[in-house]
Amino acid sequence: MKRQIAQSIMMASLLISMAACGSGMRANTPSSSNNPLPNPGDNSGNNGDGNSGEFSNGANTAGFTFEDTFTFQNFLQRASEPTTLGGVITVDLRDDTGATVNSVDDLQGLAFGGTVKIRYSERLTDGTIRTREAVLNSGNSTRDIRFNKFVTTNGKLHFKAFFQDQYGAIVLVGDAVTDTGYASGRVYYHNFPQTAAVQGPNEKCWNITRGPYDCRDFLINIDDEGHSTSDIHEMIVSTGESMNPYRVDGEAYYKLLGRFSGLYAPAALNKPVP
């Protein structure tokens, strides 16, 4: 029976980038910078695409609030943690065609891929503050990003996308976007179980239909040939209207990790959006 994590979503303009594979815990991934967390929406520095000067550094970064301490610990795959001082999320996406966008309606059906970085600061028991980050990637092939699309629900444009690292996967879900282009939304996560099995290097988890690395969601009772099925291993991922993660086999597969707000959509998408 389909279990839904209820939420409805407004238009979202977001793209995301990825991480490498390995072993250990997310807690052991130091930030690429020893500097304090950036101010979300900071307009100083280089542009978002590193080239045109159109987007400022930090415009594709927004404040990120973890749902609760237990969720934060579980996401990092450790039993205890220092005091969490807060986090930010950086979204860096590009569409698969380079299509010109003259209005938000032109986003309909475009697929985006890239990286999402979740950075957070902690205060250790000795008072030291350290910054860590999790980096998750969507892959770049048409097959990998085929589910990461804008869809219209109740007359409004929404966005959802899959990303993964070696520890598990996240689903980025877009909420409201203001008239000035700033987006809010949610991130859900699913950690891979402990296993001796190895995930193939060229197959993203949302393309896997069996075993510990199957991270599919938004499943519908149709197989890839269009036939009705009750076998969860044959079901396909829907790119349709639903913006709420759910599985058909019991407890919600993805859990809410946290929420973001103040993300500048055109910078996150590396594409001017009127």
- Assigned token pair, 131: 């910054």
Q: Which residues contact 181 (CB under 8 A, 6 or more apart)?
A: 13, 264, 265, 266, 273
Residue 167 has a CB neighbour count (10 Å cut-off) of 22
Q: Tell me: the pLDDT tens digits for 63-99? A: 998 888 788 888 887 655 556 667 889 999 998 888 8
Measured distance CA(75)–CA(27) in Å, rounded: 9
Q: Are 177 and 265 within 8 A, CB to CB?
A: yes
Q: Tell me: the pLDDT tens digits for 61-70? A: 999 988 887 8
Where do the domains of the chain lie? Answer: 3-197+251-269
Q: Which of 201, 104, 108 is nearest to 151 (CA)?
A: 108
pTM: 0.78
Question: CA torsion angle for 13, 151, 215, 167 (degrees, to 10)?
Answer: 0
